[in-house]
Amino acid sequence: MKKALLAATVVASALTASLVAAPAASATGWDLPWNNHHSRTTSIPFTEATVTAGADGRFTLKWKAQGAKRVQIKANGKVVAKGGAQGTAVVSGLPAADRQWFDFEPDRGEGLRLADRLVKLDGAVNFRDAGGYRTTTGQWVKMGEVYRSDALNKLTAADLAKLQRLRVKNVFDLRMESERTTDPDKVPAGAKYTVADVFAGSGSFQTLPKSPDEAVKAMVDAEKAMVGGEGGKKAYSQVFEGLERDRDRAVLFHCTAGKDRTGWANAALLTALGVPADTVMADYLASNDYRKAANEAVLSHLPAPQAAVYKPMLDVRAEYLNSGYDEVKAEYGTFDRYLKDGLGLDSRELKQLKKDLLVG
């Protein structure tokens, strides 16, 4: 019991697959910057494309390619599936790999290189790729360039070797000093480690909530602090500067559970790149799926009243992320102004970031 309580306390104080459908963007009470954008014709005909790895070693591939008549998919240079403009295929028998990549090749236009979003590690449950999403302009966010994760302190030697092979070169630690001291990061050899403490000086989570409603309010307030607090602005400025500056990626940012501080970092990145609001929300809420077993393990060791208080802090909820966007509107008016005035990312740097991270 003592161990479970400690685990829950750490998660609470630190803020700790089928994707859940997101509410309409208007739920935030204002027009998000991407709402008035319309898709344009790009060189990539795919409007949908996903890779989902199964526990049995099989991969489910789905796609829709507007205007194409035929699509073939390769793995390791060999054709493993064929179909029409829309299709689903299940592939098995592929050799073991750190990540299994698939090349989606239409008969007209550019192709896509995709993998399952989750990177399986022994010491982390929420380590995943930030890419693989389509933007409102019809471009796609590259995979293998930016990763998001929960804590790295339990990574094994095999995990670290895998991350080194995946070219993780720049690690941003979004955690508080107490977390970094108790559970110091393990980073792959040769990677640069940067502290980007989101809650530095904020006073967030100095006391634990006493009811589920207090817990929800604490999470909403913490999300606002990520946007408006000096620590949050500095930390996310560091992350965006690293993303824009580091052309020899991959970049990794993480916190304790990989869902709140990391969730806003990824939501801000995807929003900046032009990914639709519902897709950004779905990516954010996916932590509920990836962390399901870990969260249930914590709650199962707590008395029911205490579990009811901790559950809102273990969850990610649409109202949490939306409170971040509300804070952007209240303080900056538009998301572009948040990027420029809050995070120091000007239009030239944003254009370069899109050039680096988008295809099509």
Q: Counting runs of H as helices and runs of E as strands, what totals does the chain give?
A: 13, 14
Distance, in Å, from the CA atom of 171 to the CA atom of 190, rounded to the nearest integer, reads: 11
Q: Are 104 and 111 in contact (CB under 8 A)?
A: yes
Per-residue pLDDT of the chain (360 residues; tens, 9 = 90+): 433 333 333 344 333 332 223 333 333 333 444 444 444 557 999 999 999 999 899 999 999 999 999 999 999 999 999 999 999 999 999 999 999 999 999 999 999 999 999 999 999 999 999 999 999 999 999 999 999 999 999 999 999 999 999 999 999 999 999 999 999 999 999 999 999 999 998 766 667 899 999 999 999 999 999 999 999 999 999 999 999 887 777 999 999 999 999 999 999 999 999 999 999 999 999 999 999 999 999 999 999 999 999 999 999 999 999 999 999 999 999 999 999 999 999 999 999 999 999 999
189: left (phi > 0), else alpha (psi -120 to 50), else beta? beta
Instruction: For residue 15, give the DSSP letter.
Output: T
Looking at residue 308, its amino acid is: A
Q: State if pTM tops 0.95.
A: no
Selection from 147, 145, 114, 131 nearest residue 275 by Cα: 131
Q: Cα separation of 280 and 155, whole Å?
A: 27
DSSP for 70-134, written as a single string: -EEEEETTEEEEEESSEEEEEE--PPP-SS--EEEEESSS--EEE--SB---SS-S--EES---B
Q: Is 255 a catalytic residue?
A: yes
Catalytic entry in 65, 124, 174, 255: 255
